[in-house]
Structure 1
Amino acid sequence: MDIEDLHDEGEGRTGLLQAHVKRVSRVDASQDAASQSEAAATAAAATAAASCVPGTQRIWVKTFGCSHNSSDSEYMCGQLQEYGFTLVDDSARDSAALWLINTCTVKSPSQSAMDTLLRRGRQQGKALLVAGCVPQGDRRAAELRGLSLLGVTQIDRVVEAVEETLKGHTVQLLAKKALPRLDLPKVRRNRHVEIIPLSTGCLGACTYCKTKHARGQLGSYDPSELVKRAAAAAADPQVREIWLSSEDTGAYGRDIGASLPALLQSLVEVLPPDGRCMLRVGMTNPPFMLQHLDAVAAILRDPRVFSYLHVPVQSGSDAVLLGMNREYTLAQFQRVCDTLLSQVPGLELATDIICGFPGESEEDHAATLALLARYRFPHTHISQFYPRPGTPAARMQRVPTAVVKQRSREVTAVVDSWAGVYEGLVGTTHRCCVVDTAADGVHLVAHNKTYAQVLVAAEAPDGSGSLLGCVVEARVLSASRWSVKAEVLRVLYRPPADADQAGQAVHHSSGSESIAQQRGSTEDHGVAQAAAAVPCSQEESTSCPCAAQASPGSSCGSPAQAQRHPASSAAAAGDATAAATATAAPGFSSQQQQEQAHGSCSGTEAEEEEAPPPPGAEPSAASVLSDTSAVFPLARAEASGEGASAAGSAAAATSVALGGLHLQTVSHAKSAGVAELLLLFSLLAGLAGMLASGLLAALQP
């Protein structure tokens, strides 16, 4: 994950150790040499001691996958930065002591990229912590052997996992538990975009998807927590967009008796009435959305909500949809599209296509091309079928690779052929939120009501400064396949100057304690949540109806709706011609979109060779700190059903370097003092090292 705007180092952790230098007279050359030797030894000991002090190292975080993964990374970064760690971006990753890789298991290319990073990190001797869907879905994967792993519901324990990994321990925190709190500190990848996860997991069982193995069954956040989080984000003067993220937005609340339309209405009500903060509804699958069409259409018409919705279809053939176990028919998908397009002016619909699913015939492929020609979705995520290990589809008879590639090229050609998608916007004026820097490094990216990608100049025409984070009125000058260019007529809203740092480090903690204080109460909080914990089903082989939720890079306004969606008018399009792989909007700089486009556009299905475990990587029983380890007694209490009293004390292990000797010390203390005791041990270790080195130097002849 890119952290573009980091705090100054001076704002980080205050020094734990302060010393006064006493000047002494040099007696003779021999004493001078001894003094220099002593100083060198003392400096070396101080450096070694500093490396043991918790929360002082540099961390690089890399994120693959959907906006839900991005949100998880933002929360993990927030906790690490709050505790004192320094977060570095891609350009400084080689200087980091630990690499935290948040993984995606939807597509093979993403996992191959993860394998490459792990090999590189091992070669450089980096401490490695792997989080996200890959370790949660397949903890026994060969490429993860000997590495620390952090599950998708364990992100609130990232500080513990990082500290233990830096000590050389192998940590595996994969037990399913209650959802992480939404009021944890976070660092936004994009300070102008707040991502709020509505839920995790799903109610589906798609035969091709591995995400169900990781995210599990549907688990929804309480509506009041979501509204509170949205209100805090909307009050941030830097936030222009709030994204709702979920594996299936339409299924939200079915596990807790909550209503999706009611939640959306409550979220809209906390947004500023002037439209300076817009809501984007997340990806939804057709089955559950069928029950909310009129209510959702009303929400999408609201001036504070983008008229945009991502509805994956995957195939235009009922036979293929049945093989995928998508739980809807082509007619039902068309009903979703037609109803929303008729009720929401200028609605932007995005969809997903999987090319070459097992059993797909030429007739099935032709049906998909016909569907695309009918609706002309301006933004379509296109993937070749990738068999994910452990899924039912991986055991099905595959379509030949050459055929899959050809069908992918044909689908892409159809999508790329819609050159006039945005022509209807030329000459029109729009209210736009400016949220990102374009890939060309010259323009800024803004979004209008229909989430079209509008490229504008970086500076305001009146010379008042950068437009990033502003709300502007812009007139479209020209259109291309994926975006439009516009001139800014005036600035409607500019964040106050004193809000410049907002969004870099975001703490919506509602008055809760700092991370250092939270570390002391983790056990009690976790045990209280354990009653609602979701059991981990490692043997489950079904998959969820999720689709990669990339940030759409293109859309357009109502003047061009009939041209973009001919099926929404009286005539439905017929013939479809050839085409291709997934398309990422060239001007949009979202890292997640680029990564997913890479996965979709991959010209080959050959994965990179599997990363072999490093020499001696097979961990011994003594070196592995698992969920039931003494270092993390919370997991043991959760697994055994022990109450809060069982987690009231923690055994914290730390290695102490003392004069070249490595001592293993274990402290037993009440949970409220664990963090402080760890710091004390590290402090004492440093002092002892300095004293020992000085004594040895003084005794030298």
Structure 2
Amino acid sequence: MGLKGKRIYIETYGCTLNKADSAIMKTILVESGYEVVDNIEDADVIVLNTCVVRYDTESRMFSRIEELKKLNKKVIVAGCLARVFPAKVRKIFPQASLIVPQSINRIVEAVESSEPVMLFDEFKEFSVLPRVVEGVTASIPVAEGCLDECSFCIVKVARPHLKSVPIEKVVNVFKDVISRGAIEVEITAQDLSVYGYDLYGKYALPELLNSILSVEGDYMIRLGQMNPRHLINYLDEIIEILKDPRVYKHLHIPVQSGDNKVLKLMNRGYTVEDFISIVNEVRKKIEGVHIATDIIVGHPGEDETAFMESIKLITEYSIDRVHIARYSPRPFTKSSLMPQLPDPVKKSRSSYIESVYEKVALEINREYVGSRAKVVITEVDRVRNKAIGRLFNYRPVVLDVGGEYLGKKAVVEINDATFFDLRGRLLHIL
């Protein structure tokens, strides 16, 4: 039982920024004397940190609220749903408290209130950053919001303003999580590429990363997603940072479509050629770099020709990892007002592009079979007694070893591959 006599359970959905917000809330609650529990049955208060990026996710959130309503426990609905659909949440569950992403530092206020509250700040204050180390990994959110106005994006409604954390504060938290045993740290944001623009009037990501890398230690840094529109402006500096052995050779650059006409309708602010030039330049200078991207299938204006351009992009440029999302119209967005494609068309296209991507990814991964490589073991599945090691480019290798190897560096032999990961045998610990 926590010092305040209440146990808190936090359930999280959505992106890495949502996970980081939950870590911030957990940090604040623990420092305030509360106990954060792993099982909902043990909790006095339930915090549901929600996502609304797609319609099916939104539906799942409302279904979950209906389920939690039956438990007769205090419920706090946090995250993007609380900001985008506050009236609907209140209608379904009048006893629930609401806390928007910009107000998460007020989580104790929501927990201690005897009546349902709605905490609705306009700007986020990063007064606390998460210092939570899960196993040997940690995630540090360095900004929320973005500088773009993408036609399809409802997250802009939930997180409307760019708000960055000062460099010195990020570095201090980084030092802290390293001292707590983190060996892999993700530097994350809604759009990492525009970090610091609100604070310093310029793209400040290279300065942030160089400041972090000035910290001595045996660790690995993973970079969050970066919009190609902004990344292209300082790509040379990022390439130099990727050369540091403590940075995974991995970039997540969401292209969203392989067709310029669709990109214009999406209001993305770059061309397919811009994306290709980034990929070519990085691959030329960073051997074995892992490129991940996102593609939305079935956005308004995507005809068959445009769709095939996305297929062409994946196949001709052998994109390592593709996150495919079937477009769903979101309220308060310009794309929702455009003529929509029929659902069967979107469904068939998403199935086809998934199959194409899986074939491309499997071919890439098979090239590793038979090789030996160094990995950092960062995750353990204790149920299946398997561990996941990461190559220098963040590619996962599933190993038949247990939790005693967590945090170790090892040499492995790769003997099999799927489109999603590699399978290997541990040879020896370094």
Count of residue pairs the alignment pairs up: 425
Distance 2:124 2:344 in 1: 45
1:60 and 2:60 equivalent?
no
SS at match of 1:477: strand
**Is the 2:123–2:161 Cα contact (8 Å) retained in structure 1?**
no
SS at match of 1:315: coil
1:262 and 2:204 equivalent?
no
Structure number with bigger Rg: 1
Cα deviation, residue 144, structure 1: 5.8
Cα deviation, residue 289, structure 1: 0.4
**Is the 2:154–2:330 Cα contact (8 Å) retained in structure 1?**
yes
Question: Residue type matched to 1:177 in 2?
Answer: F
What is the TM-score of this pair, normalised by structure 2? 0.94
Cα deviation, residue 203, structure 1: 0.3
Distance 2:260 2:123 in 1: 37
Match of 2:190 among 238, 247, 250: 247
| Residue deviations 1:622-666 (CA, integer Å, cap 9, x gap) | xxxxxxxxxxxxxxxxxxxxxxxxxxxxxxxxxxxxxxxxxxxxx
Residue in structure 1 matched with residue 400 of structure 2 by the alignment:
457
| Residue deviations 1:69-127 (CA, integer Å, cap 9, x gap) | 111101111222333333222xx313422210011121222222211111011122221
**Is the 1:182–1:225 Cα contact (8 Å) retained in structure 2?**
no
**Is the 1:279–1:304 Cα contact (8 Å) retained in structure 2?**
yes
1:159 and 2:108 equivalent?
yes
**Is the 1:348–1:378 Cα contact (8 Å) retained in structure 2?**
yes
Distance 2:255 2:193 in 1: 14
| Residue deviations 1:346-387 (CA, integer Å, cap 9, x gap) | 000001111110121111111111111112222111111111
Match of 2:35 among 79, 83, 86: 86
Question: Residue type matched to 2:19 in 1?
Answer: S
Change (3 A) 1:178 1:365: closer
**Is the 1:234–1:270 Cα contact (8 Å) retained in structure 2?**
no
**Is the 1:429–1:475 Cα contact (8 Å) retained in structure 2?**
yes
Residue in structure 2 matched with residue 211 of structure 1 by the alignment:
155
Higher strand share: 2
Question: Residue type matched to 1:74 in 2?
Answer: A
**Is the 1:432–1:472 Cα contact (8 Å) retained in structure 2?**
yes
- Counterparts in 2 of 1:338-377, with a 5 A limit? 338-377=280-319
1:134 and 2:81 equivalent?
yes
1:473 and 2:411 equivalent?
yes
Distance 1:242 1:317 in 2: 34
Change (3 A) 1:58 1:384: same
Cα deviation, residue 129, structure 1: 0.4
**Is the 1:287–1:327 Cα contact (8 Å) retained in structure 2?**
yes
Structure 1 residue ranges, 4+ long, deviating more than 4 angstroms after superposition: 142-145
Distance 2:278 2:125 in 1: 31
Distance 1:466 1:477 in 2: 22
Distance 1:183 1:336 in 2: 32
Question: Residue type matched to 1:176 in 2?
Answer: E
SS at match of 1:255: helix
**Is the 1:245–1:283 Cα contact (8 Å) retained in structure 2?**
yes
Cα deviation, residue 298, structure 1: 1.1
Distance 2:309 2:159 in 1: 32
SS at match of 1:437: strand
SS at match of 2:193: helix
Residue in structure 2 matched with residue 315 of structure 1 by the alignment:
257
1:484 and 2:429 equivalent?
no
SS at match of 1:332: helix
Distance 1:306 1:227 in 2: 18
SS at match of 2:275: helix
1:71 and 2:20 equivalent?
yes
Question: Residue type matched to 2:397 in 1?
Answer: V
Residue in structure 2 matched with residue 521 of structure 1 by the alignment:
none
SS at match of 2:367: helix
Change (3 A) 1:112 1:178: closer
**Is the 1:149–1:172 Cα contact (8 Å) retained in structure 2?**
yes
Distance 1:79 1:175 in 2: 17
1:428 and 2:371 equivalent?
yes
Q: Percent identity?
A: 30
Question: Residue type matched to 1:269 in 2?
Answer: S
SS at match of 1:425: coil
Moved more, 203-212 or 471-480: 471-480
Residue in structure 2 matched with residue 150 of structure 1 by the alignment:
99
Distance 2:176 2:228 in 1: 31
**Is the 1:207–1:324 Cα contact (8 Å) retained in structure 2?**
yes
Distance 1:352 1:438 in 2: 27
Cα deviation, residue 410, structure 1: 0.8
**Structure 1: runs of 5+ lacking an equivalent:** 1-8, 14-54, 460-464, 493-701
SS at match of 2:405: coil
Moved more, 240-249 or 131-140: 131-140
| Residue deviations 1:548-580 (CA, integer Å, cap 9, x gap) | xxxxxxxxxxxxxxxxxxxxxxxxxxxxxxxxx
**Is the 1:194–1:243 Cα contact (8 Å) retained in structure 2?**
yes
Residue in structure 1 matched with residue 44 of structure 2 by the alignment:
97
Residue in structure 2 matched with residue 224 of structure 1 by the alignment:
168
**Is the 2:105–2:128 Cα contact (8 Å) retained in structure 1?**
no
**Is the 1:182–1:229 Cα contact (8 Å) retained in structure 2?**
no
Distance 2:179 2:35 in 1: 27
**Structure 2: runs of 5+ lacking an equivalent:** none
Distance 1:178 1:398 in 2: 35
Cα deviation, residue 396, structure 1: 1.2
Match of 1:289 among 211, 225, 231: 231
Distance 1:271 1:423 in 2: 36
Question: Residue type matched to 1:209 in 2?
Answer: C
Cα deviation, residue 439, structure 1: 8.7
Question: Residue type matched to 1:350 in 2?
Answer: A
Residue in structure 1 matched with residue 116 of structure 2 by the alignment:
170
SS at match of 1:476: strand
Residue in structure 1 matched with residue 328 of structure 2 by the alignment:
386
**Is the 1:154–1:180 Cα contact (8 Å) retained in structure 2?**
no
SS at match of 2:363: coil
- Counterparts in 2 of 1:286-685, with a 5 A limit? 286-418=228-360, 419-438=362-381, 441-459=384-402, 466-492=404-430
Question: Residue type matched to 1:489 in 2?
Answer: L
Cα deviation, residue 429, structure 1: 2.8
SS at match of 2:59: helix
Cα deviation, residue 457, structure 1: 2.8
Residue in structure 1 matched with residue 137 of structure 2 by the alignment:
193
CA RMSD of aligned residues (A): 1.8
Cα deviation, residue 181, structure 1: 2.1
